[in-house]
Structure 1
Amino acid sequence: MPVVTASAALRTVPVYLKSVGTAVASRTTVVRSAVDGKLTEIDFTAGQRVVAGDLLARVEARADQARGEPDATEIRAPASGMVGGALRHVGDRVSPGDETGIVTISRTDPISVVFALPEAMLRAVRERLLQGSLPVKAYDHDKVHALAVGHLRRGEQESQQGTDKGELVATFENADRALSPGMRVDVLVPAHATRTALAIPLAAVRRSSAGYYTYMVTRHATAHVRPLTLGIVTGDFVVVREGLRPGDVIVTDGQEQLTEGSHVAIVEGPSPRPSE
């Protein structure tokens, strides 16, 4: 099978400060009835996304409040976003003065992620923020491919009471809605430092139900599956924590036709060392 190869090699990669954060709506709007009356209809479900003007509920206004206006009993979304669960039930009395309202609408594009870093690390963050915004990446349990890339919007530099950590807030455009309120994510903030780590091209990485792997080529011109434990992605390369050594030759193109033990012909790229 013809394949293209590359070598696992030591590369200079950036160092990241890591934390766990929680996604929160960038703005929350409480929807209340504009009139006193009885809630007669609920036209939304929890988690539904609405746009401004969508019908949310109907209220049967008190006779002295209706004033003959047909729209007076309709409750429409004042803003776009994701609705929560209904805070009142059909049959409940509602009014403009209700503290809880009928439902809340959470704006999720953009969305914020709140996280904390140890006070000792905040100095470097503060210094970089003086030069402009700071890119931030959010990951789920995958920990390899970022769910979203945003920027550090502001920092509450004071330590949280009773801790040695400072709170930070990052903003993500979230146009693809990869993040939702309440989601816990790993947050990576680039530190002003680098380190040396083993890395391979992203093109060499495959994924199965068992996890990540690559095909390593031996001196016998055969391809073997090598399970991988991966680190951060930097550019077109990904850090390999476990599974390979420097100099190992891996397949970057042609993997689709390979199985364990397939014989290969390298048409481009390095060949395995004679000792392998």
Structure 2
Amino acid sequence: MTKYLLSRPGAARHAGLSGPGYLGLVLLVAAAGAGGWWWGQNHPATGTGGTETAAAPARGASSAGGAGTSGGRRFGGGGSQVQPVSVAQVKQQDVRVLVSAIGSISALNTATVRAQVSGVLQAVRFNEGQQVKAGQVLAEIDARSFQIALAQAQGQLARDQAQLRNAQIDMDRYKDLLAKDSIAKQQVDTQDALVKQLQGTVLTDQAQVDSAKLQLSYTQVRAPISGRLGFRQVDVGNMVQTSDTNGLVSITQTQPLTVVFAVPEANVAQINQQLNAKLPMPVEAWDRALKTKLAVGRVSSTDNAIDTTTGTLKLKAEFANADGQLFPNQFVNVVLQLGTLPNALVVPSAAVQRGAQGTFVYAVKDDGSVTVRRIRLGVTDGDGVSVQGDISAGEKVVTDGADRLREGAKVEVIVAPPANAASDTGGRRRKDVSEQKPAAVQSTPASAATKTEAPTATAKSPEAAPAAAPAADEERPRWLDRLPPEEQDKFKKMNPDERKAFIEKMRERRRQKEAAGG
């Protein structure tokens, strides 16, 4: 009403207000507004239960960007606060001495199948990419002309064999007459020469027959070796020649295969020692990404000289390749095992830290603090590395979170969530279930809690403000500062499930207070 009167010219005059009365009314309205503003700044409104409304969190949120406030801190950000880390145990085990290299796969035998006689290709008896055995029929060539040639050779042989038999009969007769001195010895000698001449003719005819049979057999093209076939080079109906460069098909022997790779000359002495002792040197073949082991074989031989250009020695390993994972001319990553270090101390490679003072790891003590342990690195086997130094088996070393640590820092051990588990808000890792999560509390993704537990503008108490458990790398919420110090410390040490239960408990308390207040 007052605003309406003041907004209209002459309204005070029509309302019966004089000049001094009008001025007094204006001053009274201004004083009332200032008093209301001061009261709102210094006395937050309360509900029926005596609890503070959501106005205070709203003011805190509006000033969250101010420097020097507690809202700018992060969990674990202070040097004196507990740092969340992941740990692993130092193990004592046998460690393989490995040498990595790049190798090329080669076949033991490769053959190009060509026709050995010329003719028309009548049939193909194989499929491309098929595994075949030595002697298996792959193709057939028109054999009619070769059958005719064989028949001619057999006929000529039969004729000459008949002449030989007749000459041998005459020779026997002449010998009887010579014994009775009824024939001249010259005639016997002549007959003997004729018999030998016919014997040579028969042998020649027999060779002609054998040659014709061999040519006829060539009309069936057979696999010279066992292996995998390539692509077909000639189609049925085409004329094939013995001089064809590409042939009919190629065969590559894939079982077994060999891998040729080079190792540094520093390992030559150890390799020779293993070979002279006839000890097997296992070799693993991995794919390009070093994610899949393709095959396992053994070193079969070495080159006879070191390459002076690269300072390496070439080795050849043989792989059975029973499952056909390896292909000729394929490049693979080779891991050669030269020996084994027995009972070596092994730590994860992720735990190794490097600094100006050398190589070290952070060991977690029983009181929850960390200490620096200097180490010397040995050989690497998979994700672990052998070490020597002031460390013993069974100790726990930090594998994740070491960049925020220093000597004597307090830590809280956490474990990474499974790969298929829902991630917590802000990417915070789940704590050890066996130590941190109560048995009666079921695991709930924090993303779902964010949707169902978000605070609204109509909240009546600070217990309703939290939406989800803040992650270790999220900003510290304003409403947490209004809790007692012991409650703040307790809340920060909770895992996401415990924090959710705590929030529900505070909300239930608020509802009870509201119900008690009417």
TM-score (norm 1): 0.63
Q: Deviations over 1:90-119 (max 9, x none)?
A: 524322x76764322212111111111232
Q: Which residue of 1 aligns with 2:368?
A: none
Aligned residues: 225
Aligned partners of 2:235, 2:269: CA distance in 1, in Å?
50
| AA aligned opposite 1:85 | F
Evaluate the alpha carbon distance shift between residue 11 and residue 138 of structure 1 in structure 2; reply closer, same or farther with a 3 A threshold: farther
Q: Which residue of 1 aligns with 2:399?
A: 244
1:198 lines up with 2:361 in the alignment: no
Evaluate the alpha carbon distance shift between residue 250 and residue 265 of structure 1 in structure 2; reply closer, same or farther with a 3 A threshold: closer
1:158 is paired with a residue whose SS is coil
2:332 is paired with a residue whose SS is strand
Evaluate the alpha carbon distance shift between residue 257 and residue 77 of structure 1 in structure 2; reply closer, same or farther with a 3 A threshold: same
Aligned to 1:116, which of 262, 276, 279? 262
Q: Deviations over 1:116-151 (max 9, x none)?
A: 123232222111112222111111134244211110
Would the aligned equivalents of 2:348 and 2:399 in 1 still touch at CA under 8 Å? no
Evaluate the alpha carbon distance shift between residue 52 and residue 164 of structure 1 in structure 2; reply closer, same or farther with a 3 A threshold: same
Aligned partners of 1:50, 1:108: CA distance in 2, in Å?
11
Evaluate the alpha carbon distance shift between residue 32 and residue 248 of structure 1 in structure 2; reply closer, same or farther with a 3 A threshold: farther
1:105 lines up with 2:251 in the alignment: yes
Evaluate the alpha carbon distance shift between residue 248 and residue 171 of structure 1 in structure 2; reply closer, same or farther with a 3 A threshold: farther
Q: Which has the higher helix share?
A: 2
1:186 lines up with 2:342 in the alignment: no
Q: Which residue of 2 aligns with 1:47?
A: 129
Q: Which residue of 1 aligns with 2:231?
A: 85
Would the aligned equivalents of 1:118 and 1:165 in 2 still touch at CA under 8 Å? yes
Q: Which has the higher strand share?
A: 1
Aligned partners of 1:122, 1:65: CA distance in 2, in Å?
61
Would the aligned equivalents of 1:22 and 1:182 in 2 still touch at CA under 8 Å? yes
Query: What percentage of aligned pairs have identical amino acids?
Result: 28
Q: Which residue of 2 aligns with 1:266?
A: 434
Q: Deviations over 1:166-220 (max 9, x none)?
A: 21110111111111111110111123465765349xxxxxxxxxxxxxxxxxxxx
Evaluate the alpha carbon distance shift between residue 63 and residue 25 of structure 1 in structure 2; reply closer, same or farther with a 3 A threshold: same
Q: Deviations over 1:248-267 (max 9, x none)?
A: 7658xx95873324676339
* Higher CA-based Rg: 2
Aligned partners of 2:413, 2:281: CA distance in 1, in Å?
35
Q: How does 1:213-252 map to 2 (within 5 A)?
A: 232-233=381-382, 238-239=383-384, 244-245=399-400
Q: How does 1:28-177 map to 2 (within 5 A)?
A: 28-44=110-126, 46-52=128-134, 54-61=136-143, 63-64=145-146, 67=150, 73-88=219-234, 91-95=238-242, 101-132=247-278, 133-160=280-307, 162-177=309-324
Evaluate the alpha carbon distance shift between residue 80 and residue 257 of structure 1 in structure 2; reply closer, same or farther with a 3 A threshold: same
1:109 is paired with a residue whose SS is coil
Q: Which residue of 2 aligns with 1:210?
A: none
Q: 1:30: Cα distance to partner? A: 3.5
Evaluate the alpha carbon distance shift between residue 86 and residue 172 of structure 1 in structure 2; reply closer, same or farther with a 3 A threshold: same
1:178 is paired with a residue whose SS is coil
Give the ranges of 4+ consecutive aligned residues of structure 1 lying more than 6 Å apart after TM superposition.
Answer: 68-71, 246-249
| AA aligned opposite 2:226 | S
Moved more, 32-41 or 6-15: 6-15
1:127 is paired with a residue whose SS is helix
Unmatched 5+ stretches in structure 2: 1-86, 152-212, 350-379, 386-397, 403-411, 425-429, 436-492, 496-518
1:143 is paired with a residue whose SS is coil
| AA aligned opposite 1:198 | V
1:244 is paired with a residue whose SS is strand
Aligned partners of 1:93, 1:7: CA distance in 2, in Å?
69
| AA aligned opposite 1:178 | Q
Aligned partners of 1:248, 1:52: CA distance in 2, in Å?
63
Q: Which residue of 1 aligns with 2:41?
A: none
Would the aligned equivalents of 1:7 and 1:249 in 2 still touch at CA under 8 Å? no
